[in-house]
Amino acid sequence: MIEMVTPALEISGLQAWYGESHVLHGVDMLVQPGEVVTLLGRNGAGRTSTLRAIMGLTGARKGSVRIHGTETIGMATHRIAHLGVGYCPEERGIFSSLTCEENLLLPPALKTGQPGMGIDEIYAMFPNLAERRNSQGTRLSGGEQQMLAVARILRTGARLLLLDEISEGLAPVIVQALARMITMLRDKGYTVVMVEQNFRFAAPLADRFYVMEHGRMVEHFTAAELTDKMPVLNELLGV
Ligand SMILES: Nc1ncnc2c1ncn2[C@@H]1O[C@H](COP(=O)(O)OP(=O)(O)O)[C@@H](O)[C@H]1O
Ligand SMILES: [Mg+2]
């Protein structure tokens, strides 16, 4: 018997604009609940725009974006978020005048019926943040700020996480900690879509890969197919 599962995210023919500038030209993507999917591409390929378009944060958009089965193409950003989506933009948006813990207590829970992750569970998952709970946002290292940005999303109860280049500019030891974080999130059943430039970080974590070029998906494959796809990836990304 074939079990039918509602995809966590199902995008088809997604187009998006910033003003007059047409940046997404028909993006297709399917993410099942509990998957970790990596979106690769060169700078300017349209990866950030894809995440922003999912959230309704670009200008006009057209096509279909279903989240847990609900069509969202006509919805405002806050309504999309309330379907249980958490977006972590490249600029992490930590409130620098607030402490680490105040940042964590800030986000309101989404109306998904899923409770947000408790502060204790957050601190168990991110021991660094527990140590730094009373430190001001500005005093946190880049890696701590990145963890805080993700932790803050977990507080909302979002189960589908859209993470934009979380490893960017961070030291290798911090990148390893972020890799452990992604593994923990997968073990806890979260669905993760991560945009990455750092192929070595993403490669061992992802169940499946998509590659974008000029606002379109040009490749998609599973982790098992990665070795066979290396020559193609080399050509597309120079990895
Ligand atoms: N706010 C914006 N206004 C106009 N064009 C933009 C804006 N943001 C990005 N773009 C353009 O959209 C294209 C895709 O960019 P982006 O989604 O940021 O790519 P990536 O994240 O893959 O590097 C690029 O050509 C970029 O110049
Ligand atoms: Mg980007």
Who wins on pLDDT, 5 or 192? 192
- The region of weakest confidence among 26-30, 68-72, 138-142, 214-218 is 138-142
Cα 159 to averaged position of ligand 2 atoms, centre (Å): 22
- Binned at pLDDT 50, 70 and 90, residue 215 comes out as very high
- Binned at pLDDT 50, 70 and 90, residue 2 comes out as low
- Percent share of the chain, pLDDT over 90: 82
pLDDT score at 33: 97
Coil vs helix vs strand at 187: helix
Answer whether residue 197 shows pLDDT above 90: no
* 15, 47, 146, 166, 173 from 169: Cα distances, Å: 30, 18, 11, 9, 12
CA distance 184 to 161: 13
> What is the separation, in whole angstroms, between the first and last Cα of the chain?
40
Q: Give the HSE-up count for residue 69: Cα atoms under 13 Å, Cβ half-sphere.
A: 4
Answer whether residue 239 shows pLDDT above 90: no
Ranges of each domain in the chain: 9-237
Q: Which of 15, 17, 18 has most ligand 1 atoms within 8 Å of CB, for mutation?
A: 18
Answer whether residue 156 shows pLDDT above 70: yes
Answer whether residue 60 shows pLDDT above 70: yes
pLDDT score at 115: 83
Sign of CA dihedral 133, 125, 170, 219: negative
Q: Which of 42, 49, 61 has most ligand 1 atoms within 8 Å of CB, for mutation?
A: 49
Answer whether residue 88 shows pLDDT above 80: yes
Most confident of 109-113, 114-118, 133-137: 133-137
Number of the ligand 1 atom closest to the C-alpha atom of 50: 17
Could you say which architecture CATH assigns to the domain 9-237?
3-Layer(aba) Sandwich (3.40)
Answer whether residue 112 shows pLDDT above 90: no
Nearest CA to 45 out of 170, 195, 162 is that of 195
CA distance 173 to 36: 21
Give the pLDDT mean for 12-29: 97
Give the pLDDT mean for 8-30: 97
Number of the ligand 1 atom closest to the C-alpha atom of 164: 21
